[in-house]
Amino acid sequence: MELPANGTAFTRYIHPQDLIVWVLLFAAVAILGPDRSSGSIALLCALGVFQIVEQRVQTIPHGGVVSYLVKLALCCMLIDWTGGIASRYFWVLVLPVISAATTMGIVGTAVSTTLAGAAFLSFIFRLAPNQEIDPAEFPEVILRVLFLPVVGYLTHQLAEANRAAARKYQAAAEQLAEANRHLQEAEAAVRRSDRLAALGQLSAGLAHELRNPLGTIKASAEMLAKNLAPGDEVAREMAGFISTEVDRTNSLVTRFLDFARPLKLKLETTDISEVIDRAIDQVERHQPPFDISIYKNYSPDVRPFPLDGEFIERVIYNLLLNAAQASRPRSTVTVKTRQIDDTAEIAVHDVGSGIDARHLENIFNPFFSTKRDGVGLGLAIVSKIVDEHGGRITVESEAGHGTVFRVYLPMTEPRA
């Protein structure tokens, strides 16, 4: 049997303090009890052992009922052995009653208490022919029987109070864990916002400073190409390289500016399914084309809500593009929507190469990329757009098994 991480199998099912208490109790009863015959001592030992291992028995299906019936049978055998209705061990019947009251509801407690009382009264019908009960002893017999439901009721009330307190503490612990998770997410969002702000300012300054020399370089390259001799193909090719690289760098500068520039959302009530469809069309028209299938799973519960369709289309397009680039040929990318309270969730799921766990924390940081030719602005801009909508974006990934990006957008107009 596999041992639990926090202790042995013995301490898991048998508490040392319970072992000490029950051993002392039943040892004292066996030594000091009114009947010290071998039969009664054997039955007391059996009852004591079962009392110790009861916690293990209660882990099996219907363990509470099994525990009650076994203890009731042992108690009846002990009472029968020590004098039946006149036995001074009548009090042991409280043990199965307590077990039932702590594991069953009020109806189960009532039934088990009634059954224990009936079992005790049944010894009246098992008297020897020459044995009778003194009428003066009937009140004591009745009191013994009435003692059992009182014990059962009080034990049940105490157990219910303990269970209510446990539920209360469990709910408080769950709320605390949820609050802690939200706090960690908020701290991560603040750190990301700070980095975005600082890097955005730096990007804006660098982009503006680079634009002018890039324009001069391209104009010079074009003028050089026009003035070259017709046969100087090498120089003409070099001039073309300069112009092409300037265009590529200028495109990169434009992306820097897009990242640094404050977004001005144009919120309109829009069907998110239509926005996703436009993004999918862009990916399917991508050149060169991707050898993948895009599966749509839109929830009809997601009603139109205020958003900037152009920006959100850009978000979905970037996520789909990343998913397509990470996917194996002839695989599937799934786009799924659903509504969670007043929030729309858009999930983009691929079964591609996945993201290494050590990169997940930085995946939305500007200029961080796991691609060779990546700039690291795509997901940073995606995160910025989602933040501006008052939403959030999460990623779940396992290297070699795929990635899920989830975008959560409020379905009410975000506050400024």
Strands 331-340, 292-297: pairing is: parallel
275-287 burial: b if 16+ Cβ within 10 Å, else e: bbeebbeebeeee
Kindly list the domain boundaries of the chain, sorted by start residue.
9-133, 187-260, 268-410
pLDDT at 3: 42
Query: Cα(281)–Cα(328) distance, rounded to whole angstroms?
Result: 20
**CA-wise closest residue to 201 among 155, 253, 259, 245:** 259
The pLDDT value given to residue 345: 95
Given a cut of 50, the residues of the chain with pLDDT beneath it are: 1-6, 10, 416
Q: What is the DSSP string of 364-416?
A: TSTT--SSTT--S-HHHHHHHHHHHTT-EEEEEEETTTEEEEEEEEESSPPP-
Question: Of 276, 301, 311, nearest to 414 (Cα)?
Answer: 311
**What element of type H or E holds 336?**
strand 331-340
Secondary element (H or E) of residue 165: helix 138-227
The pLDDT, as a whole number, for residue 274 is: 95
**The pLDDT value given to residue 300:** 92
- Report whether 390 contacts 415 (CB < 8 A): yes
Q: What is the pLDDT of residue 19?
A: 62
Please give the structure tokens belonging to residue 395.
């990623």
10 Å Cβ neighbour count for 126? 10
Architecture of domain 268-410: 2-Layer Sandwich (3.30)
- Four-CA torsion 81, 87, 92, 94, nearest 10 degrees: 130
How far is residue 46's CA from residue 344's CA, in Å, rounded to a whole number?
Answer: 61
Residue 2: the pLDDT is 42
Write down the architecture of domain 187-260 according to CATH.
Answer: Orthogonal Bundle (1.10)
The backbone torsions φ and ψ at residue 138, rounded to the nearest 5 degrees and listed phi first, read: -60, -40
* CA atoms lying within 13 Å on the CB side of residue 104: 23
In angstroms, the CA 397 to CA 370 distance is 14
Q: What is the average pLDDT value for the chain, to the nearest integer? A: 81
Rounded CA-CA distance 220/238 in Å is 12
Backbone angles phi, psi at 359, to 5 degrees: -95, -10
The confidence score (pLDDT) of residue 407 equals 95
Other residues' Cβ atoms within 10 Å of the Cβ of residue 293: 12
Kindly report the pTM of this predicted structure: 0.49
pLDDT at 5: 46
CA dist 278 → 112, 285, 315, 317, 320 (Å): 67, 11, 12, 9, 12
Q: What is the Cα–Cα distance from 160 to 153, expressed in whole angstroms?
A: 10
